[in-house]
Amino acid sequence: MAAQQTPPPEAGGDSPRRIIHIDMDAFYAAIEQRDHPGLRGRPVVVGGDPGGRGVVATCSYEAREYGIHSAMPAARARRLCPKAVFLRPRFDAYRRESARIFALLREYTSLVEPLALDEAYLDVSGPCREGATATGLAREIRARVRELTGLVASAGVSYNKFLAKLASDMDKPDGLCVITPERGPGIAASLPVGRFHGIGRATEAKLRRLGIRTGADLGSWTVERLRPHLGVRADYFHQLARGIDTRPVRSHRLRKSLGTETTFARDLHDREEMLRALEELAGRAGASLRRRGLEARTLTVKVRFDDFRLVTRSRRGEPPYTGEEPMRAALDELLDRALRPPRPVRLLGVTFSLLQPADSGDANQLDLL
C-alpha cells in the first residue's frame, strides 16, 4: 500500500546516504565534436568500420534521432543515416579526459567508484563541505566539468547507487535529477524489471513468464518464492524492487575478469550455432572491456554440456585483447579444444581476464582502475 510506504531503513543508520552518479553525455562523440568544431550539431558515430563488421561504440545525440545506438553494427548505422560522420575511436584522448574528470571528482570525496571511463559513483554522505547538499554538489560538479573539459555531464542524486544511476539517466542529456527517499520506493515499484541493475534480457524474459513486469510485481512476491527462479540474487532484486540498495561505493574496485555467459532454453547441437553464440557473447564482453578502457591478456571460453560437465579453455592474446578485434578465429580454436568429444551444449560463456589498462603505464589510468 502506498500509504504505508516509509523511506527504506537502509544499512548505515537513520540518516540516509547521499550518492551522486555522474555519467558523461555521448562521451566519445562529445569529445570528437569538441575537438572538431565542424562536427558540432551533426550526427557523429564513433566505432568500427561501417564498411566492414565494426560496431558502434557511441554516437552523438543528433545521430540518436535516426535510431543509432551503441553496440549496433556500424553498417546498419550508416543505412539509418548515410550522412552521419563515422570516426574511429581515439582512446588516448578519451582516457586523458577521463583522468581529468576523475581528478576533479576526487576533490569532492575520496569515495569515488569508477564504472567506466565516463561514469562514476560518489558517496558524499560524509562531511564534504559545510552546509552543502548533495544536489548542490552535483550542480557544482556539472558546472566545473563543463568548464574544465567543455563536455557535458549528467548527474543523478539519491540515497543509494541503484536510484542514483537511474536518476542520472532520467533527464539525459544535460540533466540533473534527484530521487528523494520519499519518491524512491514509488519509482522502483513502477520501473520495468529490465531496468533493474543486474537483470539482463534472459532474466527479464524469465520474470515475464512468471507475470512479473515491474518492481511492484516483483515486490509482491516473497523472497522464498522468487529464490527458485532467481537463485542467490533473489534477495538483492527483492530489495531493489522496494528502492533499497545497500551496496557501498567502493573506491578501489579491482576487477579480475570481465565476462558474460548464457544458458540456452534448448541445448545447442550445431557447431556453427555455438560459434555464433560465442561471437555474440564476446561482443558484449568486449564492449565492457572498451567501456572501462581495459585490455585483457587472456580469453576464456566456458562450456557446460548437456550432462552438466563443465569445461573451460583459455588462450593468451598477443598483443592483448582490446575488445576491438575480430574474435571468430580465437573462439573457433577454443571451442574446438572444448568439444572433445563433441556433445550438446547447454551453456556458453566468454571471459576476459588478466586485465590491464589499455596502453598501460599511465599513472592516472591505473588510479582510475
DSSP state for residue 192 in the 8-state scheme: B
Task: Give ∠ CA 362-247-140 in degrees, rounded to 5.
Answer: 60
The correct pick among 32, 97, 113, 119 for binding ligand DCP (CB under 6 A) is 119
Assess contact for 158 and 179: CB atoms under 8 A.
Answer: yes
Tell whether residue 71 is a contact of ligand DCP (CB under 6 A): yes
The correct pick among 16, 18, 20, 28 for binding ligand DCP (CB under 6 A) is 28
Task: Give 24 or 241: the residue with its C-beta nearer to Mg ion.
Answer: 24
Per-residue interface string for the shown chain with Mg ion, residues 114-153, x marking contact by CB under 5 A: ----x-----------------------------------
Site for ligand DCP in 72-111 (CB under 6 A): none
Sign of CA dihedral 249, 358, 355, 230: positive
The correct pick among 39, 80, 93, 116 for binding ligand DCP (CB under 6 A) is 116
Q: How far from the centroid of its chain's Cα atoms is residue 317's Cα?
A: 24
**b (16+ CB within 10 A) / e for 288-322:** bbbbbbbbbebbbbbbbbeeeeeeebeeebeebbb
User: CA dihedral defined by 92, 98, 103, 108, rounded to 10 degrees?
Assistant: 180
Cα–Cα dist 124/251, whole Å: 13
Cα–Cα dist 53/317, whole Å: 21
Task: Give 89 or 243: the residue with its C-beta nearer to ligand DCP.
Answer: 89
Q: Which three cell numbers stand for residue 266?
A: 534448448
Per-residue interface string for the shown chain with Mg ion, residues 27-66, x marking contact by CB under 5 A: x---------------------------------------
Strand partners, 312: 302
Q: Judged by CB under 5 A, which stretch of 21-29, 171-179, 223-231, 323-331 contacts Mg ion? A: 21-29
The least distance separating Mg ion from the CB of residue 118, rounded to whole angstroms, comes to 5
The correct pick among 33, 58, 125, 149 for binding ligand DCP (CB under 6 A) is 58
# binding residues, Mg ion (CB under 5 A): 4
Residue 103 binds which entry of ligand DCP, Mg ion, none, CB below 5-8 Å type-dependent? none
Cα–Cα dist 244/242, whole Å: 6
| 257-268: strand order across its sheet | 257-268, 345-357, 294-305, 310-321
Residues annotated as catalytic are: 119
Helix (H) or strand (E) holding 348: strand 345-357
The least distance separating ligand DCP from the CB of residue 281, rounded to whole angstroms, comes to 14
The least distance separating ligand DCP from the CB of residue 89, rounded to whole angstroms, comes to 7
Q: Judged by CB under 5 A, which stretch of 18-26, 47-55, 75-83, 131-139 contacts Mg ion? A: 18-26
Residue 10 binds which entry of ligand DCP, Mg ion, none, CB below 5-8 Å type-dependent? none
- In the chain, DSSP finds a helix count (H) and a strand count (E) of 14, 12
The least distance separating Mg ion from the CB of residue 15, rounded to whole angstroms, comes to 30
DSSP state for residue 155 in the 8-state scheme: E
Per-residue interface string for the shown chain with ligand DCP, residues 280-299, x marking contact by CB under 6 A: -------x--xx--------
For binding to Mg ion (CB under 5 A), which residues are involved?
Answer: 23-24, 27, 118
Residues that bind ligand DCP (CB under 6 A): 23-28, 57-58, 70-71, 116, 118-119, 172-173, 287, 290-291
